[in-house]
């Protein structure tokens, strides 16, 4: 069994991969670059490739198949960047990973608090030595109604941790959780929009929920709502969000993920003109916080993601079931 890692980070992932390789007896190699049709040849002779979110559309899947790769192991919870239909047609298995939910959950809560208390704006004014109070007053999270969309492991952890703040908690999910009901009232989506002061997203991206937050959804929300997204950029229509920020309907947004972030986040683009108008506009607002898809990024979570790749590839090779199997 051999795994080739793309975008293998030498400063954190490599040490875990070396440890797990010795522990499980699985060979690996890797490079720091994203996979392309050209450098796909590096994976020739390997059973599996491991990738972070990137372009893994039909052409890339076919290219790896032609090189003998049998498994595509994502080092992320999300797997919507992989053409799983084509992988299925070719008999290729696809997996994702998971990690302890508290890292992302606590990051989302941090973003809520920062957005409500206008911390980004306060810090920027501090950089130019403006220590006046005008325009810095915020809201206390404890007095807010928070709507959580998606009550999987991360969403449930958000609810559990927010319960200690004394918030009123609402939840929406196609498959309600008995555990989440301990902390939140399940409501339909329109009710959640109408009653929430803060809305936080914790669901994977699918064709059905593409642009879940669009102009029509925002119209149903309370004036002055705050929107937090640590899930998937495709869940929010960026143009609709920008219009709502400009009108004041949305009072603040904290976004760890963004539409069209492939080729942007995880790259050093210093000094380059970036062809992403939505990014430029969102960065210009004093009431918007943008972080570059780092909610997951803790030592514990990185080790868990690398381990998930090795365990999934091993399970696939042995014909064993794995909770990480997301093949169609």
- Annotated active-site residue 232? The verdict is yes
The number of CA neighbours under 13 Å toward the Cβ of 323 is 5
Among candidate residues 86, 232, 307, 324, the one labeled active-site is 232
pLDDT at 178: 97
* String of DSSP letters for 139-185: --GGGSEEEEE--SHHHHHHHHHHGGGT-EEEEE-SS--TTGGGT-E
**Per-residue pLDDT tens over the stretch 87-109:** 999 999 999 999 999 999 999 99
Closest to 97 measured CA to CA, from 80, 71, 73: 73
Q: What is the CA radius of gyration of the chain?
A: 21
pLDDT at 265: 85
**Per-residue pLDDT tens over the stretch 214-259:** 999 999 999 999 999 999 999 999 999 999 999 999 999 999 999 9
Is the pLDDT at 110 greater than 90? The verdict is: yes
pLDDT at 53: 86
pLDDT at 100: 93
Is the pLDDT at 263 greater than 80? The verdict is: no
Is the pLDDT at 149 greater than 80? The verdict is: yes
Q: Average pLDDT for residues 79-83, to the nearest whole number? A: 92
Q: What is the largest CA-CA distance in the chain?
A: 64
- Cα–Cα distance, 167 to 162 (Å, whole number): 6
pLDDT at 4: 98
The number of CA neighbours under 13 Å toward the Cβ of 227 is 31
Q: Average pLDDT for residues 262-268, to the nearest whole number? A: 81
pLDDT at 261: 87
Proportion of the chain above pLDDT 70, given as a percent: 100
Q: Average pLDDT for residues 182-192, to the nearest whole number? A: 98
Q: Average pLDDT for residues 17-24, to the nearest whole number? A: 96
Among candidate residues 62, 261, 303, 311, the one labeled active-site is 261
pLDDT at 24: 95
Locate all alpha helices (DSSP H) within the chain, ordered by sequence. 13-24, 58-66, 84-89, 102-116, 119-127, 153-162, 189-195, 215-219, 238-247, 277-284, 299-318
**Per-residue pLDDT tens over the stretch 267-285:** 888 999 988 899 999 999 9
Is the pLDDT at 196 greater than 90? The verdict is: yes
Q: Average pLDDT for residues 297-310, to the nearest whole number? A: 96
pLDDT at 125: 95
**Per-residue pLDDT tens over the stretch 41-58:** 999 999 999 999 888 999
Strands 48-51 and 145-149: unpaired
- Annotated active-site residue 102? The verdict is no
- Annotated active-site residue 293? The verdict is yes
Q: How many residues would you count in the chain?
A: 328
Closest to 325 measured CA to CA, from 234, 317, 315: 315
Please answer whether residues 326 and 94 qualify as being in contact, where contact means their C-beta atoms are separated by less than 8 angstroms. yes
- Cα–Cα distance, 131 to 122 (Å, whole number): 8
Mean pLDDT over each residue of the chain, to the nearest integer: 96
Q: With a threshold of 0.75, does the pTM exceed it?
A: yes
Rounded to a whole number of angstroms, the distance between the first and last alpha carbons of the chain is 23
Among candidate residues 81, 293, 307, 324, the one labeled active-site is 293
């Amino acid at each position: 069994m051999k795994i080739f890692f793309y975008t293998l980070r030498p400063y954190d992932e490599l040490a875990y991969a070396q440890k797990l390789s010795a522990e499980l007896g699985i060979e690996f190699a890797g490079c720091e670059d994203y996979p392309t049709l050209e450098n796909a040849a590096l994976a020739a002779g390997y059973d599996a490739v491991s990738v972070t979110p990137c372009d893994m559309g039909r052409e890339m899947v076919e290219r790896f198949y032609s090189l003998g790769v049998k498994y595509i192991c994502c080092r992320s919870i999300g797997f919507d960047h992989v053409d799983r239909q084509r992988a299925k047609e070719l008999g290729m298995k696809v997996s994702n990973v998971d990690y302890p939910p508290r890292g992302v959950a606590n990051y989302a809560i941090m973003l809520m608090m920062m957005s409500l208390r206008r911390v980004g704006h306060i810090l920027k004014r501090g950089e130019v030595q403006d220590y006046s109070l005008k325009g810095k007053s915020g809201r206390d999270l404890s007095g807010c109604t928070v709507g959580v969309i998606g009550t999987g492991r991360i969403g449930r952890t958000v609810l559990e941790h927010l319960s200690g703040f004394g918030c009123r908690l609402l939840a929406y999910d196609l498959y309600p959780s008995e555990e989440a009901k301990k902390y939140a009232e399940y409501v339909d989506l329109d009710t959640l929009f109408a009653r929430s002061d803060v809305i936080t997203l914790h669901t994977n991206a699918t064709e059905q929920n593409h642009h879940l937050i669009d102009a029509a959804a925002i119209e149903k929300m309370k004036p002055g709502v705050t929107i937090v997204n640590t899930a998937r950029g495709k869940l929010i229509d960026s143009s609709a969000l920008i219009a709502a920020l400009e009108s004041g309907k949305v009072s603040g947004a904290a976004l760890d993920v963004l539409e069209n972030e492939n080729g942007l986040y995880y790259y050093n683009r210093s000094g380059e003109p970036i062809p992403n108008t939505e990014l430029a506009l969102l960065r210009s607002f004093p009431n918007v916080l943008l972080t570059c898809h780092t909610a997951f990024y803790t030592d514990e979570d990185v080790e868990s993601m690398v381990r998930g790749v090795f365990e999934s590839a091993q399970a696939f090779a042995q014909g064993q079931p794995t909770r990480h199997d997301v093949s169609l």
